[in-house]
Amino acid sequence: MASQRTVAADALARNQVSRAGRPASAPRMGYSAQPSPLRSKDLPLDTVLIGDCIAAMNALPASSVDCVFADPPYNLQLGDAGLLRPDQSRVDAVDDDWDKFASFPAYDAFTREWLAAARRVMKPNATLWVIGSYHNIFRVGSALQDLGYWILNDIVWRKANPMPNFRGKRFTNAHETLIWASRSADSKGYTFHYDALKGGNEDLQMRSDWFIPLCTGDERLKDEEGRKVHPTQKPEALLARTLLAATNPGDVVLDPFFGTGTTGAVAKRLGRRFIGIERDPGYAAAARERIAGVETLSQAALLVAPTKRAEPRVPFLSVIEAGLVQAGETLCDERGRFRATVRPDGQLDNGLVVGSIHKIGALVQGLPACNGWTFWHAERGGRKTCIDAFRTEIRATMAGA
């Protein structure tokens, strides 16, 4: 994936800003020399645009990206003294100009502007991730809701190795929060790979608290003097989980606060396309170099397994019609506690009630619901075989046909 710049990208680059602020000649929205908005097919894919993200997003076509991952300034408000350890040494904290805002209203205005710009470029079924800390995430959350986004989850990223609270006056700040939101309450069909995440979590539903280490070791970009290239480089594992959950291979992921390009590096590795926007040319250069060294995983590794819900429905009657289970045969649960007889119409009879595999499964256990496919078993070659195996066989035949 080449980092080729388009006309729009070049126009944006002409308006490069310094680390300390926006170009003096340009207002925040709509540069004077701004190109007319692009068409979707001209999207600047796999490119790092240098400039203010609001203007850059306003120059992109509406409804053109599948996912937004945003790691905006947190407005940490550290003050001029910075953060000191008990021995008075300075903590390497985020005191960069890009993280400073004059007031909460100024931060709120900025937040609303970039969230509105991001919402315009999102496809109707796209979702947005925003990461933040207690300093900003509540403000971001309320702006999101005011703008019409619909919050799907808040994820707690529990840090495996958080920085201690040096003054001992508060709890160790050991997590950050990611908000995951759809474009609106009635957005339909957003991507969520429920089954893949569950499969990777030893068949337990993936929860909203993620335990992931900070970005350290070889992954952390350092300059020749061994200093961090970026103060807030995010761990690739965090990005990988968000993109695996909410995007498909080939999807376009937009990151308006690209920094050193963690989103781009992970997107490329996972076979997704990216658009990065970063106003600091130094960070953008580091991101480009980093991404150039990333290899995309093989297509086979990236194939998304079909979700259970997307698989064709198979009635239990089809299993009987295919001769995989016989009418009159007795089924039982895995531990052999409950039995029922298969009827020729595809229902089960437990001697008292006749009903579907699900209904009789629930009834014999005294439960409100039951997945009959995984509950009932048939005796095959002296072993209990789950009837779901027969459904899988039928689905394989359907796929072949």
Ligand X SMILES: C[S@@+](CC[C@H](N)C(=O)[O-])C[C@H]1O[C@@H](n2cnc3c(N)ncnc32)[C@H](O)[C@@H]1O
Cβ at position 33, least distance to ligand X in Å = 17
Interface residue with ligand X, options 234, 288, 290, 377 (CB under 6 A): 234
Stretch that binds ligand X, among 167-175, 242-250, 255-263, 355-363 (CB under 6 A): 255-263
String of contacts with ligand X for each residue 49-88, x by CB under 6 A: ---xx-----------------x-x---------------
State yes or no: residue 257 binds ligand X (CB under 6 A).
yes
Of 205, 203, 267, 258, give the one whose Cα is nearest residue 236.
267
Give the strands of the sheet with 273-278, arranged side by side: 47-50, 273-278, 252-255, 65-70, 122-132, 175-182, 150-159, 209-212
Task: State the Cα–Cα distance between residues 4 and 375, nearest whole angstrom.
Answer: 54
Stretch that binds ligand X, among 101-109, 256-264, 289-297, 363-371 (CB under 6 A): 256-264
Cβ at position 255, least distance to ligand X in Å = 7
Cβ at position 261, least distance to ligand X in Å = 6
Interface residue with ligand X, options 127, 177, 233, 247 (CB under 6 A): 233
Interface residue with ligand X, options 98, 107, 129, 157 (CB under 6 A): 98
Interface residue with ligand X, options 280, 314, 360, 364 (CB under 6 A): 280
Please, what's the b/e burial string for 116-125 (b: 16 or more CB within 10 A of its CB; e: otherwise)? bbbbebbbee
State yes or no: residue 230 binds ligand X (CB under 6 A).
yes
Interface residue with ligand X, options 111, 136, 260, 347 (CB under 6 A): 260
What are the phi and psi torsion angles at 106 (to 5°)? -65, -40
Task: State the Cα–Cα distance between residues 242 and 316, nearest whole angstrom.
Answer: 36
State yes or no: residue 149 binds ligand X (CB under 6 A).
no
Give the strands of the sheet with 330-332, arranged side by side: 354-355, 348-349, 339-342, 330-332, 377-380, 383-386
CB atoms inside a 10 Å sphere around CB 73: 20
State yes or no: residue 278 binds ligand X (CB under 6 A).
yes
Of 57, 30, 24, 27, give the one whose Cα is nearest residue 255.
57
- Which residues of this chain interact with ligand X, rule CB under 6 A? 52-53, 71, 73, 98, 230, 232-234, 257, 259-260, 262, 277-280, 283
